[in-house]
Amino acid sequence: MHDDRTLVEARLRRVLDERIRPAVHPASVPLDVAVWNAPGEPVPVAEGLAATPAPIAVGDRWGAPWGTSWFTVTGTVPAEWAGRTVEAILDLGFDENMPGFQCEGLVYRPDGTPVKGLNPRNQWVRIGAPVAGGEEVRLHVEAASNPVILDYHPFVPTRLGDKETAGSEPQYRLARMDLAVFDETVWQLVLDLEVLGELMHELPADGPRRHDILRAVGRALDRVDLQDVNGSAAAARAELAGVLATPAEPSAHRISAVGHAHIDSAWLWPLRETVRKVARTTSNMTALLEDEPEFVFAMSQAQQFAWVKEHRPEVYAKVKKAVSEGRFVPAGGMWVESDTNMPGSEAMARQFVHGKRFFLDEFGIENDEAWLPDTFGFAAGLPQIIKAAGSKWLLTQKISWSQTNKFPHHTFLWEGIDGTRIFTHFPPVDTYNCSMKGSEIAHAARNFKDKGAARHSLAPTGWGDGGGGTTREMVAKAARLRDLEGSATVTWETPAEFFAKAEAEYPAPPVWVGELYLELHRATLTSQAKTKQGNRRSEHLLREAELWAATAAVRTGFAYPYEQLDRIWKTVLLHQFHDILPGSSIAWVHREAEKTYAAVADELNGIIGEAQRALAGDPAAGRELVFNAAPHERHGVAAGGAAVPAEAGGAHLTGRDGGGFVLDNGLLRVEVDADGLIVSAYDIAAERETVAPGRAANLLQIHPDFPNMWDAWDVDAFYRNTVTDLTDADDVSPVDAGSSAAVRVVRSFGASKVTQVLTLTPGAKRLDIDTEVDWHETEKFLKASFPLDIHAERYASETQFGHFHRATHTNTSWEAAKFEACNHRFVHMEEPGWGVALVNDSTYGHDVTRTVRAGDSGTTTTLRVSLLRAPRFPDPETDQGVHRFRHALVPGASIGDAVREGYRVNLPERRVPGDTAVAPLVGVDNDAVVVSAVKLADDGSGDVVVRLYESAGGRARARVVPGFTAGTVTVTDLLERPLADSLRHELEDGTVRLSLRPFELVTLRLTRGA
């Protein structure tokens, strides 16, 4: 037989496009349309429905950027359509290739009841099936004219990302507003042909199955009367029934389809628009669940459920009903799908606390899985947090985006820094927006790396990023793929059903140890510095507020602000979403975030001030107490306590030969040259120089920064090829700093200016570096370099509840790909017996390189901290303006010193007038065991909750000493629920004795005795 594959395939494409698809709606009549444009922000539904609209015609332009237009469509079903299925086709001017990224709508009945959402892939509204004929139709559409930010030519700078700069030019042209007959037989034929045509392309060209399908498609097309598609569709379908009924091979890969609509809580739209995106999507999904009995839909992010509950209670009622039926599945158990690299220990824990508690309170559901399909890599401390929250599984997709190395597993055990292992799955379909295309299903089966040992994978199915969700077409395709020869099998299942099967069939999966580093989007550790500073400062203010409020509540009867802290925590957690904290959202999002963080700081400082005043006693006593919220003693003030601080010695500033200054406090001698560069940081006791010979530390360097794509997200390795050292100084002069020694250095470059103050304080073996940058560069990357005279093959970066080691070398492509990495409060490197730490108050990105010097063959290990970037997409004004950072160089530092100094720079002492010293509410007798939270239990019982962890990476014994009469102690999970195994933690003589593994996290709940 002659090979006519290309002829039949081309015929299929044309007949589908030009004859069969148009025949799905064979008859239509126009609807009358009127519109009212809301004058500002979105209005309540009642107001939108009550407004008086003006006529508008198909073809007219509408919709200023970020505006809301209320369309009213009216019409009458023709009498001759009696007995037919009728739909309204409402095309607001959609581009079908951009679901979630452009205009959208929510359809209401005249009484305000929401019907369903409209988006480019979901433009229909069912009127009747069947209709009687003559029905009057009246629908209202709340249409959001969200501008297209990420267009076909992506990453082009645009002012559309902020309502204040977007202008008023209409964005869309009304395309179609019709009543139409829906021919389900033709629609089913379209799906038959799509599934078979897509499958055919994935099968071997010389295989019999491909040719069986080819011949059946040819016969079906022969039966289609091109002048009467609707009359001939049933006969065409009959020709395809045989090849659609042939079952899959017993060895076929098995896919669990999970209905899904990844909705970024903010990204190319502001938070307020996400509230409406969620309402549209959940309206669609609850309606689809009613129509499709096998369909299952999962939605993560408790915040999004809370938004629906608050803003669309009528939609939430449908969601709750579907949840109770087990078909609308709250997934993930987190407040939002957060970034996991940058959130601090407690914040990462509270993502699960608040997320899981919401699902428990609202639905009685406990999540076993963490669900983070789009997060930009995963910190090595996360497995322990997942387990401590009572979960055991993780799903993500994003690692498939890595540019350099292909991850070797799709199902595996992920081991964190403390040894905790979490069963983890990367869907081999390589998308969290699966649409059930044959190419996607075939790719999942081919790509699955655990063949022979496992057979199951998961496919998150539905349009996402901007929401939309699963469509009826996807459900119909999945039905055909349930058991079809040549394809993987597809079954709708919940995440829990998938994980249970996957875990059961794969009892000994491979293990991956350490962080799950995404070899992409590395610049998200630096972009939008003020958002990152707001997050870091909010995390530490929350620590202080809980600590001092709990201490005051126990000691003085102070009213612990449960509801206020709960609300603030949720606000901070929301802003850790993986496109807010990473700095990859539009200008509007980050402008609002800056205001939100300022308001959070005001509230938390108010709580802290009230609690400290309640504890400090008489403010007129003429004394001043220092409150120490850090987990280590400082200046004689106990951790978590308040007292009059001990006196320190002094530091001295003298001139330096050749220009510059010498700062000396008896522990550390620092030389600053005439250019304001640190040319020596000498550890006096160790007789050890910190700065590499012939090099200068605190050297500001600037690079061009224009990645190949994803401007706010990416920094590409070639940025290093060009560097400018900022060595010219406008001013290098001493600063009057009391008993401290300090030097001010001012530099100008481009359109920007940097002012740094280098301070050596009495009694401290560290150099504080305060930096102010008035930044007005474009597409530049600013770093501060510290070349260290230290030989280290690895270094430590703080992460949640511990630290993680990375290589300083690039032996393999895996190590070379980590040319920009994340730290929390410190980076530390050491030779046996001597180390160096660099601590910070708000920066996350850094890089480490090593070279061997020609002169003495010694190793120079260079640590560079990332300060600022200036990408132009999606915010063309990213990071413009004044920024302040604080770092400290700590020579001779052990890992314990790094931990202590990291907390110090983030938790400055507070001075309060008073006469009453405050003993710690909880004390710990081992500095390696760090208290991360002291608070009252969330249930309002008055119990004291203490969370602590081993911070040095070794075994530790410690006594936890309550500063109050404790009745009982219980070891709990993160949600403060008792754990079964608490044998190692007993209350003896009023103290709790602990024995901790490296980086072990423990939560204690102590009742208060009489």
> Which of the residues are catalytic?
374
Angle between helices 229-245 and 208-223 (to 10 degrees): 160
Q: How far apart are CA 526 and CA 522, in angstroms?
A: 8
Cα–Cα distance list, 823 to 235, 379, 614, 773, 863 (Å)? 64, 10, 36, 21, 12
Q: Are 98 and 89 in contact (CB under 8 A)?
A: no
Cα–Cα distance list, 314 to 139, 309, 311, 328, 967 (Å)? 17, 8, 9, 16, 46
Q: Is 173 exposed, middle or buried (0-12, 13-18, 19+ CB in 10 A)?
A: middle
User: Where does 430-500 show beta strands of DSSP type E?
Assistant: 456-461, 489-492
- Which H helix or E strand runs over 496? helix 495-505
Q: How far apart are CA 836 and CA 892, in angstroms?
A: 6
Dihedral sign for Cα 720, 722, 727, 729, please: negative
Determine phi and psi for 48, rounding to 5 degrees.
-65, -40
Query: How many CA atoms lie within 13 Å of 639's alpha carbon, on the beta-carbon side?
Result: 23
Q: Are 18 and 224 in contact (CB under 8 A)?
A: no
Structure tokens at 167: 């202008």
Structure tokens at 469: 């969700």
Determine phi and psi for 628, rounding to 5 degrees.
-115, 105
Q: How far apart are CA 223 and CA 236, in angstroms?
A: 5
Q: How far apart are CA 149 and CA 151, in angstroms?
A: 6
Query: Looking at this protein, which amino acid is placed at residue 673?
Result: D
Q: Which residues contact 907 (CB under 8 A, 6 or more apart)?
A: 540, 543, 544, 628, 629, 630
1003 — alpha (psi -120 to 50), left (phi > 0) or beta? beta
3-state helix, strand, coil in the chain (%, to 5): 30, 30, 40
DSSP sequence for 786-802: EEE----SEEEEEETTE
Q: How far apart are CA 455 and CA 448, in angstroms?
A: 8
- Which H helix or E strand runs over 888? strand 881-891
Q: Are 927 and 896 in contact (CB under 8 A)?
A: yes
Q: How far apart are CA 826 and CA 947, in angstroms?
A: 21
Q: How far apart are CA 592 and CA 598, in angstroms?
A: 10
Structure tokens at 726: 């900022």
| Strand duo 668-672 + 929-936: pairing | unpaired
Query: Looking at this protein, which amino acid is placed at residue 666?
Result: G
Integer Rg of the chain from CA: 31
| Strand duo 393-395 + 421-425: pairing | parallel
CA proximity to 766, closest of 894, 891, 868, 671? 891
Q: How far apart are CA 577 and CA 555, in angstroms?
A: 37
Structure tokens at 998: 């490296």
Q: How far apart are CA 592 and CA 417, in angstroms?
A: 35
Q: Which residue matches tokens 């108010």?
A: 606
Three-class SS of residue 204?
coil
Q: How far apart are CA 685 and CA 705, in angstroms?
A: 42
Structure tokens at 142: 């709340």
| Strand duo 845-852 + 821-822: pairing | antiparallel
Structure tokens at 353: 């606390």
Which residue(s) pair with 747 in the sheet? 754
